[in-house]
Structure 1
Amino acid sequence: MNMRDVPGYPSLNECRHPRRETPMAKICQVSGKKGNTSAKHIRNQHSQGWKYKAPHKNRIQHANLQTVRLKTPTGTYRLKVATSVLTSPEWAAVACGLKPIPRAWLKKAEY
């Protein structure tokens, strides 16, 4: 008897690719930046007339997120931060220890 035939036993595909409970959020924990959902992917169609115009397919422009570690006296925190935030003066003050980390930054983003 094969173990995969037993009801309730996970299949080989389920073992290799376990499903997440919730999808991973692509949102900046500091600024709240999300992806642009109104973007279009435009292919260039050369000189074939209006009937065969270039297709405009929907796409998502995701925020450029980086995982950053912040060391504090209470411990180390990992944040998903947009790269545009990394150059801001507010982030620099928190990163070098002049200001404490705001509690809103420590909350994990969810959809």
Structure 2
Amino acid sequence: MAKVCAYSGRKAQAGRWTRHPHSGAWAHRAPQKARRFEVNLQSVTINTPSGKKKIKVAARMLTSRNFQAIMAGTKPVPKHLL
């Protein structure tokens, strides 16, 4: 299963891990390695008209007002989550 948020579509981003350069000269540049910034996914159970469904949501989206309204039942569940 892909590591993607079911609600917002957030996924991993690429970046670099850079060690401290110890010097300002270009001859002594800091070593860099490729790395990935993974999304903090959490399993959440939502109530849908057809029953309960378990989805993976980014932790950042759990505190958003729109998602809180869906969890509380005051806002309808989007079709892409069904």
Could you say whether these structures have the same fold, taking a TM-score greater than 0.5 normalized by the shorter chain as the test? yes
Map 1:12-51 to 2 at 5 A. 24-37=1-14, 39-47=15-23, 50-51=26-27
| 2: CA distance, partners of 1:76 / 1:86 | 17
Contact 1:64–1:82 (CA<8 Å) still a contact in 2? yes
Structure 1 residue runs without a partner (length 5+): 1-23, 107-111
Deviation of the 1:94 alpha carbon: 0.8
Q: Give the CA RMSD over aligned residues.
A: 2.0
| 1: CA distance, partners of 2:49 / 2:39 | 30
Structure 2 residue runs without a partner (length 5+): none
TM-score by length of 1: 0.64
Which structure: greater strand fraction? Answer: 2
Map 1:1-111 to 2 at 5 A. 24-37=1-14, 39-47=15-23, 50-72=26-48, 74-106=50-82
| Aligned partner letter, 2:69 | A
Count of aligned pairs between the two proteins: 82
| Aligned partner letter, 2:38 | H
